[in-house]
Every structure is written in C-alpha cells, then in structure tokens.
Structure 1
Amino acid sequence: MRSMGIRTLALVLMVLVVASSCKKKNPTSLKPGKTSSKTGLAYNGEDGFEVKQYKALPAGPDLVFIEGGRFTMGSLEEDVMGTRDNLERTVSIQSFYMDETEVANVHYLEYLNAVQRDSSEEFYRRALPDTNVWFNELSFNDSYVTMYLRHPGFRLYPVVGVTWGQATDYCTWRTDAVSQSMSAKGTSAGTKKKGISLGKKKKAAQAEVATAASPSSMSVESGYVLPPYRLPTEAEWEYAAKGMIGTQYADENQSNQRIYPWDGSTLRQPRGKSKGTMLANFKRGKGDYAGIAGRSNDGAIITQEIRSYPANDYGLYDMAGNVNEWVQDVYRPLSYMDFNDLNSLRRDGYQDEAKNYDSKNSNSLISDKVRVYKGGSWADVAYWMSPGTRRFMEQDSATSTVGFRCAMIATGSTGKPR
C-alpha cells in the first residue's frame, strides 16, 4: 500500500511538471511566436506577412546605454549671465544611446577620407573643419592651425572647428558606414564581439544581411536596420551629463542633485590616490589654463585626449570641460516654458518664431539658424561646466572650443541589449 502511494504521488508530480512545462508562453516583441494571437493565422505563411524571430542586438560601436527616466532639467548655478533661459522643470527622457567620448580628430579624418573617395570635391571641401579657428592675431597658435587636426600626436583629441551642419553630416555618414560594416560581417552592431550570434535558425536573416547591396535595401521589419546616428537633444545631453543614476539609494529617492556631472561642488577629486587633481579640463581663472609646470593640475593648456578624466556614472567621458558640444535644439530663451515635458526638443520654425526677433537690424542674435551647445570647454571657467547652463551659436559657425558626440534611439521597451 505504501509503495502504491509513493507511485501515485510520483505520477501526480510528473503530471504537474509536464503541465507546467506546457504552460502557454506569452508572445514578446523579440519572440512573437509562430501565429498571430489575434487572428490565429500563421506568420510567414502564404499571405506573405513576415514576422521573423529576432534576437536583440547591441547598438553601434562606442555607444553607451542611457536608461531613461525623470529628472529636473535646468540650471542649478546662480544665473550670473542674467539670461533666465533654463529655469528648473521636471521632464522625462526615453532610454537612448550616447557616444562614450567626443568625436576625435582620427574619427573625423576617417570621415573625410570616405567623403574624398566617394563624394564630390565640393562636398569634401564643405566637410573640412575650419582649422583657422586656432588663429589669433594676438596669440601664437599658428602651429595648431596646421598640426591639430592631422598630426598623429593629436589623433585622439576632440575634433573642433566643425559647424552644426558638419556634425549632422558626420552623423548621417556614420549611420551608413556602420551599417555597411554590419552587412559585410553578416551580423549587426558587432554581435560577434558581444558574443551574440544569429544562430542556426536565423540563417535566412543572416543571408539577407550579408547579401544586401546596401543597408538601405534592408527593411526596418528585419531588425537589422540601424537607427540613425544623430546629435543628442539638449534634454538628452543634460540628462546624460548629470548622471543622476549614481545618486539613487532606495525607492526612487535621490540623495542629492548635481551641479556638475559628479557629486559635490568641488572640481577636484575629493579622496583616494588622485585626491586634489582636477575632474575636468577647464580654465581655472584669467590666464590660468592648466596650473603650474611640474604640478600641472588638469594637464592641458588647450584640449586634452579623450578619456583623460574620470567618466560620470553612465560611463560618459568629458561631459564637462575639454570641448563644448553641439546639440540638436534651436535656441530660444523661453524653451523651458515651451518644451514638452516628454523627450523635450526645441525645433526651428515652430512657436516663438524667428520673426519675433529683430535680427535684421542687429537688435537680436536669435534666429532659426542658431543652435544650442553645452558642457564648457578648455577655455571656459567652471560656471559653464554645469549641465544646466546653455549657450548658442550660428549653426554655420565654428570655434576651437566646440565639438560634438553622437546619440541614437533605443528601440523597444528599454532598448538595452539582452
């Protein structure tokens, strides 16, 4: 009797295990199943509607995942300029990707090489940075004019002398270049490097990618079309720079706000072996760009090689100092009042139009051709390194203090590679 009871119990357990293993799995975006949950019709059937199985792939090279969320956008410093153009307000940002570092000279030279090879001479000339931004009648910066962009010693220094339009063109080219690289490998966004493969069941999709004549021949539905590289919006840039993810301690509580991309109000390492060293490359005061020889604190009279200073809590380098960075937004002094509070962006030609500003009579610098730049530079005092500060410049202008980095949308609920 006892043995029969044990056998019965074992049988019941087996039935429960089988039943639990046969439990219906809900479809997801990455695993939608073989049939439609609404019609019962088979995917990839005779009607031609294709819903291929898909494995989430990493984003493009050098991009860092920035988990979205709510934050207080706006300046936390005293408004010493009296502009009152970035008052505090709460906004939310969808998850996205951003370059770990600023675009460096070697990266831009790679672009120029491709443009010279594949485009017209006219477009190549338009793509060239203005190296004369280093020239100053009252300074001997002449060597930078000829050396900074092309000399190997400056390869990983941030590119400068680029206009907003040139930076946007670079983003467009990079999208195509990375897509072509993926097509040649038969995978997407460095999947081999990340240890993610398409697998045997994905041979058809792999063949589609590998044999594509160009990235544009692939469909968005395939999942192997890279979202475009672009300049970050002002809100995205400010959100990523603050890195408030590092201030959380429990249940959506934050221990503090941030004036800079790091904790505290000091500009130096507060502890450890590097205690006392500068956290960014900036101008310490009138005539003081780096400190005293032998104890040169920030180590750079002008720009400095990327990754020379500590990254913020998102793993992003030089979100304060080194060079300012272009963002997408057109400048308006009242953007903080007009922004949508979700994925904020200020477009040109919409609301508070340029005709409201008397630029024709030189009574205003504001137009639809001025763009925001942020972050502070090697030639700026600490005030401008606060993520909430903002300045603007003609989109066709360039200086030795402004560069850029790229961003990209994160697809799906989080967009984070699984």
Structure 2
Amino acid sequence: MICMQKMGTRSIALMLIVLLAATSCSKNKRPTSLKPGKTSSKTGLAYNGKDGFEVKQYKALPAGPDLVYIEGGRFTMGSLEEDVMTRRDNPKRTVSIQSFYMDQTEVANVHYLEYLNAVQRDSSEEFYSKALPDTNVWFNELSFNDSYVTMYLRHPGFRLYPVVGVSWVQANDYCAWRTAAVSQANNTAGAAAAGGKKKKGFSFGKKKKAEGEAVATAEAAAPAPQLRIESGYVMPPYRLPTEAEFEYAAMAMIGTQYSDENQSNSRIYPWDGSTMRQPRGRKQGTMLANFKRGPGDYAGIAGKSNDGAIITQEIRSYPANDNGLYDMAGNVSEWVYDVYRPLSNSDVNDLNSFRRDGYQDDSKNYDTKNANSLVDDKLRVYKGGSWSDVAYWLSPGTRRYMDQDSATAMVGFRCAMIATGSHKE
C-alpha cells in the first residue's frame, strides 16, 4: 500500500514537472520570421489590430518548380587549371556566396516552346519574332547539320534536349516570363489565403498589338498588384545565376568537407578526381559529361560510345553533382548574369561577387574602335563547357564571353533565384 502511494506521488510529481516545462516553453517560444507572434516584442503593441501594424502569419511558400536549394558559404573562385588561353582573367580568390536556388537542369526545348506559346498568345508579333531561338546556329557550310536546323527545337524527339540558339537577352526575357507564370499560381493561392479575390486570367507583357510595341519588361512580369511583398506570397524573380553563383554551385564543395570545416580536397570539375569517367561502382568507366575528347572525336566508337552523345543529350542523362544539379559541366555551356571584364575576379566584392557593368573598368579603356579589343558593356560571360568543347572548358573556373545578342549551338541557360529567410529541410 505504501509502495503504491509512493508510485502515485512520483507520477503526480512527474506530470507537474512536464506541465511546468511545457508552460515555460510556450512562454519563452522564440518568434521567427514566419511566426512573429501576436504582439511586437519591442513595443508590446498588438499586430493586426484596428489601428495596428499588419503582420500576417503565413505558411512559407515552397521553392519554385525544379529549383534546388544551394547552401551558401565560402569557396575559392577561379581556375585550378593552367591558363592555356593566357588571358589571366580567372585568378584564384576566396569569396563568400549567400544561399540561393538554382535550376536542377538546363532549360530544355519543351520549356522554351512553352514560353514561345505564351508569348505568341499574349504579346506582339514583333516580340514573338525576337523571342525565337536562332536555329541557324546549327548550319555550317562544310557540315550536313541541316536536319538540326529544322528539327532540333521542335521535334518531339528533342523535347528534353537543352535549348540552344538563345542569346543572353532572350534568356533574361524567359526569366521574366517564368517569374510571371509561376507567380500566377502563387498569387491565386496567396490572394485566397490573404482574403483577397482570385485574379482571373494571365498574360505576359500584353500590349496593343496594333501599335507593335515591344514588351517583356520587368514591370510586365510583376506579380498580381493586389498582393504586396509583405504578404509573403510574392515570388522572388527568376534570373540568370551570377558567375560566382554558377561556379560555386558547379564545384559543389559541400561534398568534400568534414564536420570541422576542413575539406578533404579541391575540385577541378564538378566531381572528384582529374578524370572524366566514373572511378568506381557498377558504371565504372562511363563518362560523367558529354564533351569533345579530341579532334573529330565527339562520342567514341559505335557500340562503345564514350558519352552517348554526338551533340547535346537529354537533361539528366549524366550524374548530378553533390548539390543535385545536372550538367554543370558538358552538354551546353550556360549564360551567366555578369558583364565580362578581364579583372573581375580581382575587382568585385568578396561577398556575393558580381559585375553588372563597367564600373571601375569603363569600356572606353579598351580599344574596340581599332579592333584591338572586344571588351564592352554588352559582352557577357558563359561557363560550364559544352558537347563541342575539350575537357579544359568543363572546369567551372574557366571563363569565356560573347556579345549578349549572339547565340551558338553550344550555349544554353538555366535560372536562379534568391533564397529568402532561413531554410529548413
């Protein structure tokens, strides 16, 4: 009897302790950006009152379709390869990159055709014509690539091959349209959650076609006007990744580190080692990317094709890197946001490095009039190496450039987006 009384007393005591702990936790619960609480921790005034400050609590939006979260950090930017071009434009430098999102894959033909369909319906004929990829990038007087000119973009067999023939300007227009398209779904859900009205219909840059106005401005891609940024349901804009973001995401150094911030090795390519083949496992010896092994060798011999692709290949055909990103080397090179300058790695800030124009290195310093230089503010960087490149260009630290209105069969793109607030799996 005494033993049972002791057990009962002990149980009651444990219950009281649990209740006290729960009460204490609820009182001391830390406010977060997503759940800031009902009152201001600085003034004590209630949020969302009749005359109060509106601070709605909301459920965080999921990342946009196909986006992969890239945790930020420091890394050594620049090439680890010998500077065979002797440009001296990619010296090594330690920089830090804020967390961001990046497309898991390159934008494929089917994705760009979706964009063209929307533009054709909602924009002027002039802008639709400007949005079309240049399919003649496949044409060569001394090659029979004619079938790619007519088939590559639109034939169903090439749907998931990366789009090419797209200029830097066209890639940015796609990013603006995608922002509007994805925001439409979020705005519909957000307006309902915020108690607003659903917006009917959607158009991208719809203007008076009779006037032939060019469209596709950032304003045309803005989210529905009834939702403010403070609502939390406004999608950050899609954009091209910066050069530093692309290089950081491609290197994927998160796969080489120990728990104490030391890294076991650096990387020449988006994978470990100095070779282009799987070093071990069931697929040992197979290629990790498609590229040109040497003069005239785009794929190896029939039956033992080294990478399975004479030209481009379907997205996700080769292993993802440690960030979960596909084709960060090979397949097609990719446009990045930056203007090209030879000394960018030395000049730009060491936090979120980016060169938007010729600041501190004006184009007038370069002799373009006498054809002694190509450098101006319309020259944009592309990275990653392509199906037509030798292995040297597959190293993320290498840099090349091209006019922002130019296009080739070797350059495509993918999108990126800022990561807002904290990230929890």
Normalization by structure 1: what TM-score?
0.92
Which residues of 2 match residues 14-413 of structure 1 at below 5 A? 14-23=15-24, 24-184=28-188, 186=189, 205=193, 207-208=195-196, 210-211=198-199, 215-217=223-225, 218-413=227-422
Question: How far apart in 2 are the matches of 1:332 and 1:183?
Answer: 39
Question: How far apart in 1 are the matches of 2:418 and 2:200?
Answer: 23
Question: How far apart in 1 are the matches of 2:192 and 2:250?
Answer: 41
Counterpart code for 1:243: A
Sequence identity of aligned pairs in percent? 77
Could you list the runs of 4 or more consecutive aligned residues of structure 1 that deviate by over 6 angstroms after TM superposition? 1-8
Question: How far apart in 1 are the matches of 2:200 and 2:231?
Answer: 12
Counterpart code for 1:259: I
- Please state how far the C-alpha of 1:2 moved relative to its aligned partner: 8.1
Question: How far apart in 1 are the matches of 2:391 and 2:335?
Answer: 18
Counterpart code for 1:118: D
Distance 1:290 1:66, change over 3 A: same
- Please state how far the C-alpha of 1:160 moved relative to its aligned partner: 0.4
- Please state how far the C-alpha of 1:22 moved relative to its aligned partner: 1.9
Counterpart code for 2:254: I
Measured against aligned partners, the alpha-carbon deviations of 1:273-332 in whole angstroms (never above 9, x if no partner) come to 211111101001001000001111111111111111111011100000110000000000
Counterpart code for 2:38: K
Counterpart code for 1:56: A
Q: Is the 8 A contact 1:73 1:91 kept in 2?
A: yes
| Residue aligned with 1:208, SS | coil
Question: How far apart in 2 are the matches of 1:271 and 1:12?
Answer: 59
**Structure 1: which 5+ residue stretches go unaligned?**
188-202
Measured against aligned partners, the alpha-carbon deviations of 1:193-238 in whole angstroms (never above 9, x if no partner) come to xxxxxxxxxx962543745777322111111110000000000000
| Residue aligned with 1:254, SS | coil
Question: How far apart in 1 are the matches of 2:51 and 2:401?
Answer: 53
Distance 1:302 1:7, change over 3 A: closer
| Residue aligned with 1:64, SS | strand
Counterpart code for 2:150: T
Aligned residue for 2:209? none
Question: How far apart in 2 are the matches of 1:315 and 1:209?
Answer: 38
Distance 1:7 1:265, change over 3 A: same
Question: How far apart in 2 are the matches of 1:14 and 1:177?
Answer: 53
Corresponding residue pairs, total? 400
Counterpart code for 1:208: G
- Please state how far the C-alpha of 1:18 moved relative to its aligned partner: 2.8
| Residue aligned with 2:196, SS | helix
Q: Is the 8 A contact 2:253 2:266 kept in 1?
A: yes
Counterpart code for 1:205: A
Measured against aligned partners, the alpha-carbon deviations of 1:343-372 in whole angstroms (never above 9, x if no partner) come to 100111411011111112211000000000
Q: Is the 8 A contact 1:56 1:417 kept in 2?
A: no
- Please state how far the C-alpha of 1:11 moved relative to its aligned partner: 5.3
Question: How far apart in 1 are the matches of 2:77 and 2:358?
Answer: 23
**Structure 2: which 5+ residue stretches go unaligned?**
203-222
Aligned residue for 1:194? none
